[in-house]
Amino acid sequence: MAIAAEVAAEGAGATSVPELLFLLITILVAAKVLGELAERIGQPAVLGELIAGVIVGGSVLGLVDPQNEVIHLLAEIGVVILLFEIGLETDLRQLVKVGGASTAVAAAGVVLPFALGYGVSIALGLGQLPAIVAGAALTATSVGITARVLSDLGRLQEPESQIILGAAVIDDIVGLIILGVVAGLVAGEEVTVGGVARITAAAFGFIIVVLVVGRLVVPPLFAMLARLGRQETVATMAVVLAFFIAYLADAAGSALIIGAFTAGLLLQPTPQAAMIEEGVVRLGHFFVPIFFVTVGAAVDVRSFGQLDVAMVGVALIAVAVIGKFAAGYAAIWFKGRKSVIGVGMIPRGEVGLIFAQLGLTAGVLSVGEFSALTLMVMVTTFLAPPLLKALFPRTARREPPPRSGIAGLTTEA
Amino acid sequence: MAIAAEVAAEGAGATSVPELLFLLITILVAAKVLGELAERIGQPAVLGELIAGVIVGGSVLGLVDPQNEVIHLLAEIGVVILLFEIGLETDLRQLVKVGGASTAVAAAGVVLPFALGYGVSIALGLGQLPAIVAGAALTATSVGITARVLSDLGRLQEPESQIILGAAVIDDIVGLIILGVVAGLVAGEEVTVGGVARITAAAFGFIIVVLVVGRLVVPPLFAMLARLGRQETVATMAVVLAFFIAYLADAAGSALIIGAFTAGLLLQPTPQAAMIEEGVVRLGHFFVPIFFVTVGAAVDVRSFGQLDVAMVGVALIAVAVIGKFAAGYAAIWFKGRKSVIGVGMIPRGEVGLIFAQLGLTAGVLSVGEFSALTLMVMVTTFLAPPLLKALFPRTARREPPPRSGIAGLTTEA
């Protein structure tokens, strides 16, 4: 009582400790219950978490206000940890190996959805900037969801799966650079070729400088930490590194999550990576659902009933599916089932949601446009698992689904 | 850039994501570096974390403002998780087994330091309420620090150690009830026998009701969760249970941390306890140092130079050591080294700091009085390990120090 009362009295409008506990209880229970239910019906848990957010959010139960400062900050910590985790699982050398086919699929999978999404948005009367955000949100494949579904089907080692995974990883990197560009545009910079080039250069430049300097500094630093410090210290310092590079990225004019992702890339080849990932995934199980639930909570379900929102949503879903499915055929020399690759590229997920969230927070997207984009992410996430299952039946030798790692975070967290 | 700018623009005076990252980087780096350094010189890491807080806090570097709303809330989540963890490691049946000696030592170890602390405070001119808070802060032995030191010395299985641990655990429970009482008093209730009895009844009553109802509900609930859900879901739901019972405790007029501790007691005997603890300890490594660093950051080192603060501090340290050392002789029938028991009871730690923090936040303690109490906690924490080492030399068969669990949290987190 007393402790809570004191805290509550500290500032008008401030969140008290019991209020924060209530919000965290609501968010975590809703996320876990709907996440587990989603898995029961063969869907990724992240879909359940988004629906959980819609239910506890402003337009249904009104329990969680995604604008609450503390919850918003915890959600941002969640997305920083999520992108750090994606980086920790991204092996740059692996991308080089899967090579041409993945690159072709990834390139087509960025260009086609962006062009189609932008075109359809302009045709439906959206402005220049909302159309760019919508197109950008269509580009990024969810590597977490795709990897998890392929693993559940016991198909992770098939050539189609390798191409999908390689392309999804490239997509993620390109998506992050697009995010940097779009974040700059959304912040009010002119939509000029020079401006785009400058932001692209800043995004690429930041990653390159950090990767070059970091490769020299980070592995010896963490080797020393592992020798001198406790295991928990190494994992905590890895999170600190992610926060630090995210902070630098922000200061350098790039995006926080690009910094977090780059920190993951730097640590991925170190001998400490597995130990670090174990600790980071645990933190992620707490913080990441806060992000997905607040994204869901920002959706106004009443806006789905509006004809224009429904039209934009359906149009975006159509081009999202068509764009990625067509991209599956980009590696024309590949002899396997191209339809499988196309379907495997369909689920959007975390990066798509980040674009939508960015657009909404910056005031570039209306609530209706934001809701239409969220609907697109939800439907594409929902469509891919049953379609993949139909095209690419489960093998007898079923691999155990990954319980930790990025698949664990994005689909089970 | 853009993301951060948007967030910063949300509210005047609000903490932006980069600002929060900067604070977390500062807190975690300082805590880990000084924690590891403390261990190098044979001291518990928690001492290093407190000193880290003093250094980054307002009176030295001024990097971390412990009044920052978000940091304060994260620190409170940290202390809730810490007390949950203490509960998870507290076996009520074990206490019954070590029995009489522990109870005698614990009782004397509460009564003597409280009486001495209260008396000395009144003699030095403190008011009634500050003297009660000071006396209360002297009562609780740090079970985490004591357990860790005994384990480091390879002495955990000696009869002296068993008595110390049993008494320290009883102390923790009694300390929490005293905390509930003091929190009530500090909130402005009259210091009457009836009032104290009522708050004691509420504190006991809450624990009893929650333990009785919880024993019926919690084990089957978590058995079901373990059967139906993923391991991560079980651990997250355990944290949610701790938040929920903490919330109930607050609503029932008890203290948040009593609820969190009771949640730990409920889960301790379940088959899921080890799995839960693993997940909770990871979260604790992130949140708990925020608590200790903000406690350190609230210390005004300049006040140590003031004659009255120094006098109160030295007097409290003297009675803190004398009170607990004398309590070690309370089990007069015990044949072993009573001096070892007395010294093992000396370190205060987390609960002592919670009292000090509570008194400061409520405005009952002046900054000088708060600083004197924090000095007492730091010095007693600092004194015990070398004294114990001298009286109770390390055995050849050295047990590995616990890497997880409460010792890990309080001394390494």
- How many residues appear in chain A? 413
pLDDT at B15: 85
Determine the pLDDT at residue A144: 62
pLDDT computed for residue B251 by the predictor = 84
Percent of chain A residues topping a pLDDT of 70: 83
Residue A110 CA to residue A127 CA, distance in Å, equals: 21
Contacts of B253 in chain A (CB under 8 A): 1
pLDDT attached to residue B95: 58
CB contact under 8 A, B69 and A5: no
Q: Which residues of B touch A248 (CB under 8 A)?
A: none
d(CA A54, CA B218): 29
| Cβ of residue B190 closer than 8 Å to a chain A Cβ | no
B283 touches A: beta carbon within 8 Å = yes
**Does A224 reach chain B within 8 Å, measured CB to CB?**
no
Least confident of A345-349, B213-217, B222-226, B263-267: A345-349
CA–CA separation, A230 vs A270, rounded Å?
Answer: 17
- pLDDT tens readout for residues A329-365: 998 888 888 899 999 899 886 678 888 888 888 888 8
Chain segment B219-232, per-residue pLDDT in tens: 999 999 888 877 78
pLDDT greater than 60 at residue A2 = no
Please check whether residue B232 touches A, CB under 8 A: yes
CA distance B56 to chain A (A): 16
Which of A:82-141 have CB within 8 Å of B? none
Q: Do the Cβ atoms of A350 and A378 come closer than 8 Å?
A: no
Which has more confidence, A192 or B162? Answer: B162
Partner-chain contact B21 A229, CB within 8 Å: no
| Confidence band of A3 (pLDDT split at 50, 70, 90) | very low
pLDDT at B298: 79
User: Distance (Å) from the C-alpha of residue B201 to the closest C-alpha of chain A?
Assistant: 15
- Contact yes or no for B286 and A362 at CB 8 A: no
pLDDT band at A413 (very low <50, low <70, confident <90, very high): very low
Which of residues B191 and A258 earns the better pLDDT score? A258
Q: Looking at CA atoms only, how far is residue A36 from chain B in angstroms? A: 7
Q: Does A304 contact B at CB distance below 8 Å?
A: no
User: Which residue of A2, A240, A361 is in closest CB contact with B6?
Assistant: A361
Q: How confident is the model at residue B138 (pLDDT cuts 50, 70, 90)?
A: very high
How many Cβ contacts (< 8 angstroms) between chains A and B? Answer: 212
Q: Which of B320, B301, B297 is nearest to B309 (CA)?
A: B301
Nearest CA in chain B to A360: B6
Q: Mean pLDDT in chain A?
A: 81
- Angle at which helices B273-297 and B45-56 cross, to 10°: 40
Question: What does the pLDDT average to over B120-134?
Answer: 89
Chain A contacts of B36, Cβ < 8 Å? 228-230, 233
Q: What is the pLDDT at residue A404?
A: 44
User: pLDDT tens-digit profile of A93-107?
Assistant: 765 666 688 889 989
Q: Identify the band that residue B382 occupies on the pLDDT scale cut at 50, 70 and 90.
A: confident
* Nearest residue in chain A measured CA to CA from B7: A361
Q: Which of A11, A14, A244 sits opposite B25 (nearest CB)?
A: A244
Is pLDDT above 70 for B148?
A: no
Integer Cα distance of A39 and A408 in angstroms = 12
Give A191 or B387, the one with higher predicted confidence: B387
Structure tokens belonging to residue B154: 């390879």
| pLDDT confidence of residue A356 | 87
Distance (Å) from the alpha carbon of B221 to chain A's nearest alpha carbon: 13
Window 11-70 of A, Cβ < 8 Å to B: 11, 14-15, 17-18, 20-22, 24-25, 28-29, 32, 35-36, 67, 69-70
- Give which of B355, B323, B314 is closest to B342, Cα–Cα: B323
pLDDT tens for each residue of B90-120: 776 765 666 688 889 989 999 999 999 999 9
Average pLDDT score over residue span B316-324: 93
Q: What is the model's pLDDT at position B322?
A: 94
pLDDT of residue A336: 82
CA distances from B252 to B173, B203, B240, B325, B357 (A): 18, 9, 18, 36, 22
Q: Is the pLDDT of residue B71 over 90?
A: yes
Residue that has been written with the tokens 């592992």 in this structure: A226
Please say if the pLDDT value at position B405 is more than 50.
no
Whether A205 and chain B come into contact, CB under 8 Å, resolves to no
What's the pLDDT at A190?
64
* Spatial CA neighbour of B248 closest among B235, B258, B238: B258
Query: Greater confidence, A159 or A218?
Result: A218
Other CB atoms within a 10 A radius of the CB of residue B217 amount to 12
**Confidence band, pLDDT 50/70/90 cuts, at residue B412:** very low
pLDDT reported for residue A13: 57
For the segment A238-291, what is each residue's pLDDT rounded down to a tens digit?
999 999 999 998 888 677 877 888 899 899 999 999 889 888 988 989 998 998
CB nearest to B236's CB, from A77, A183, A285: A285
Tell whether the model's pLDDT for residue A219 goes beyond 80. Answer: yes
Contacts of B358 in chain A (CB under 8 A): 2-3, 6
For every residue of chain A, which 3-state class applies, written as one string? Answer: CHHHHHHHHCCCCCCCHHHHHHHHHHHHHHHHHHHHHHHHCCCCHHHHHHHHHHHHCCCCCCCCCCCCHHHHHHHHHHHHHHHHHHHHCCCHHHHHHHHHHHHHHHHHHHHHHHHHHHHHHHHCCCCHHHHHHHHHHCCCCCHHHHHHHHHHCCCCCCHHHHHHHHHHHHHHHHHHHHHHHHHHHHCCCCCCHHHHHHHHHHHHHHHHHHHHHHHHHHHHHHHHHHHHCCHHHHHHHHHHHHHHHHHHHHHCCCCHHHHHHHHHHHHCCCCCHHHHHHHHHHHHHHHHHHHHHHHHHCCCHHHHHCHHHHHHHHHHHHHHHHHHHHHCCCCCCCCCCHHHHHHHCCCCCHHHHHHHHHHHHCCCCCHHHHHHHHHHHHHHHHHHHHHHHHHCCCCCCCCCCCCCHHHHHHHHC
Which amino acid is residue B336, in one-letter code?
A: G
pLDDT tens, residue by residue, B14-27: 788 999 999 999 99
Q: What is the pLDDT, as a whole number, of residue A318?
A: 94
Whether A3 sits inside 8 A of B253 (CB atoms) is no
Mean pLDDT along residues B177-204: 71
Please name which of B277, B285, B279 lies closest in space to residue B27, comparing C-alpha atoms: B285
Phi/psi for A7 (5° steps) reads -60, -45
- In Å, how far is B36's CA from the nearest CA of chain A? 7
pLDDT in tens, A364-408: 888 888 888 888 888 887 788 778 878 877 664 444 444 444 444
Question: Does residue A60 contact residue A387 with C-beta atoms inside 8 Å?
Answer: no
Is the model more confident about B399 or about B294?
B294
In B, which residues are within 8 Å of A20 by CB distance? 73, 76-77
What is the per-residue pLDDT for B8?
Answer: 34
Distance from CA of A1 to the nearest CA of B (A): 5
Distance CA B312, CA B371 (A): 10
* pLDDT at residue B385, as a whole number: 77
At residue A10, does pLDDT exceed 60? no
Average predicted confidence (pLDDT) for chain B: 81
Task: Write down the pLDDT at residue B4.
Answer: 35
